[in-house]
Chains A and B, each alone.
Chain A
């Protein structure tokens, strides 16, 4: 399993970045393979693949060996549509066998379009938007009450920020000075099928979070060095929650679907999947690993 040194002070080496890129590429392969036989939220998942890979492979103290340890780090995927990226990451890092992905949408398993706790590593189910910031708040409050020092991270989508409870939870977290809670926004600039700025504009986003009492960093969510620089600086304040806005590209890795409003949910034919896998690898040919291109 790939697990790099935690929190080293050196700027992320190019070797380490290559390792993470290779892992992210394999996660993207899983996402593409899940985009058939009923499909999945392909575009939404591709935007946060790098973020999830960085967090689980390199940053969070959570792995298959400590999933019930009360002092583990917690990650809550409030943006449930991204679960293919989570499945892919979990499969690659040994949280679950890769073969389990073949059960996607089959009644003999619980691998479907939103996260649920029957998948090891999923801390809480999601799907209905705007719920997990408050659930994560409860976990962060308890961790603090017990004097535990773990990180509690909740990933929201940018469209999800239309939900008022995201802001309500941040207000409460700020009031209670919950500094172990971090809200991460996968800012891929789309909400479902429409660009956020064309429907319910979010910008200026960082000042909004700051006005609600958080300390905010805004980074390129596909840049592993930037991710490391931001996450290893947590908490940004001793008495405030932290927010990391990750600017991302929906459909990242597949230029044919990148930034396309109609590629939120995809259900490709097997032939299309083969073409997309070729496209994916042509983008990252230099870091291809021994993984073979197969379509289930």
Chain B
């Protein structure tokens, strides 16, 4: 089962589901035939596509819309906020190549403020699967929900057997007493490697795959904070407005404090290149994440020298 097969199967069973695209068919190439008029390609028109999706949702449809994450969240932002957010319509935004997944495209294509923008819309839900398997287990709940949803599409193959999905619940991979890594999306893969390296060095390392940033599994995050270990937020997003900000808001609302190491993009766009080059340069390979956490822990002994081999992103246009 892949994304396309899941949406095909779901659409056959539920006539409310519509597939829309602003001429980005990478994930849905084979659907025009089977879905007939329920496949709507508006051409390169992100704003109009979102508006039309709102009109379709007004009539009881559940449009699943496809385009590049950056153009949906930035170019069409006001249309999402105004046409989808204000009337709270169940438009499902499937955002392609978010975060580091736009690898070689350059800053125009880097959706690294998308979580910040989308979570700022009242009622909008925000999902960031760790890989394709994680995405497939969460999509049925997302599509069945009456809420508007933003999905950071991630079709990278799973390196971890994910637990079943429950809306609003994080996946607790491991609990640890020295450090706990909170993450979402494609960097989950690298944090697993980092966790192994840190564990080999003798640390007790927790790891939480948040799965959704909104709703946030506040109970899981608060448990980590109250556990007293170093909390590390790992995200392919600007530090402002993403997980680090979400954690800060949660801590303040609960009158708590914590030792936090944010690993995020600070005040600049990332260096474009092959995904392996991006992660290496920006310091987000498993090795780099482990090293950066080790430094924070004051580890002078371990070098975390095992270089991470990163499987390249398959960029389907």
Q: Which of A's residues lie within 8 Å of B, judged by CB?
A: 70, 117, 123-125, 128, 131-145, 165, 168-169, 171-172, 175-176
Contacts and interface: CB of A to CB of B under 8 A. Distances in A.
A131 B57 CA distance: 15
Given A131-B51, A134-B51, A142 B45 contact: no
B56 to A, nearest CB: 4
Contacts of A128: 78, 82
A142 B61 contact: yes
B231 interface: no
B38 A136 contact: no
Nearest to A164: B47
B158 interface: no
A267 B38 CA distance: 48
A172 B191 CA distance: 44
Nearest to A152: B55
A124 B58 contact: yes
Contacts of B79: 131, 134, 165
A133 B48 CA distance: 8
Residue from A136, A140, A172 whose CB has the most chain B CB atoms within 10 Å: A172
A141 B83 contact: no
B59 A165 contact: no
B83 A172 contact: no
Contacts, number: 91
A135 B43 contact: no
A168 B40 CA distance: 15
Contact of A137 (B38, B43, B48, B86): B48
Contacts of A176: 40
B55 A134 contact: yes
Contacts of A172: 42-43, 45, 48, 52
A139 B45 contact: no
B87 A136 contact: no
10 nearest interchain CB pairs? Answer: A138-B55, A134-B51, A138-B52, A142-B59, A135-B55, A138-B56, A139-B55, A134-B48, A168-B48, A172-B42
B47 A168 contact: yes
20 contacts: A128-B78, A131-B82, A132-B51, A133-B48, A134-B48, A134-B79, A135-B54, A138-B51, A138-B55, A138-B63, A139-B58, A141-B52, A142-B55, A143-B59, A145-B37, A165-B48, A169-B48, A172-B45, A172-B48, A176-B40
A171 B43 contact: yes
A143 to B, nearest CB: 7
Contacts of B42: 172
Interface of B: 37-38, 40, 42-43, 45, 47-61, 63, 78-79, 82-83, 86-87
Q: Which of B38, B79, B83, B86 has the most CB of A within 10 A?
A: B83
Nearest to A178: B52
Contact of B58 (A131, A138, A144): A138
Contact of B51 (A70, A145, A165): A165
Given A117-B87, A131-B83, A142-B61, A137 B55 contact: yes
Contact of A134 (B38, B43, B52): B52
Could you say which of A128, A131, A134, A140 has the most chain B C-beta atoms within 10 Å of its C-beta? A134
Contacts of A124: 54-55, 58, 83, 87
A135 B83 contact: yes
Contact of A171 (B45, B51, B55, B61): B45
A242 B105 CA distance: 40
Nearest to B50: A134
Contacts of A141: 37, 40, 52, 55-56
Contacts of A169: 45, 48, 51-52
Nearest to B86: A125
A176 B52 CA distance: 12
Given A124-B87, A168-B47, A171-B45, A135 B52 contact: yes
A135 B58 contact: yes
A284 B48 CA distance: 42
B57 to A, nearest CB: 8
Contacts of A70: 59-60
Contacts of B48: 133-134, 137, 165, 168-169, 172
A135 B51 contact: yes
Given A138-B56, A172-B52, A145 B38 contact: yes
A135 B54 CA distance: 6
A183 to B, nearest CB: 13
A171 to B, nearest CB: 7
Contacts of A137: 48, 51-52, 55
Nearest to A70: B59
A48 to B, nearest CB: 22
A132 B296 CA distance: 52
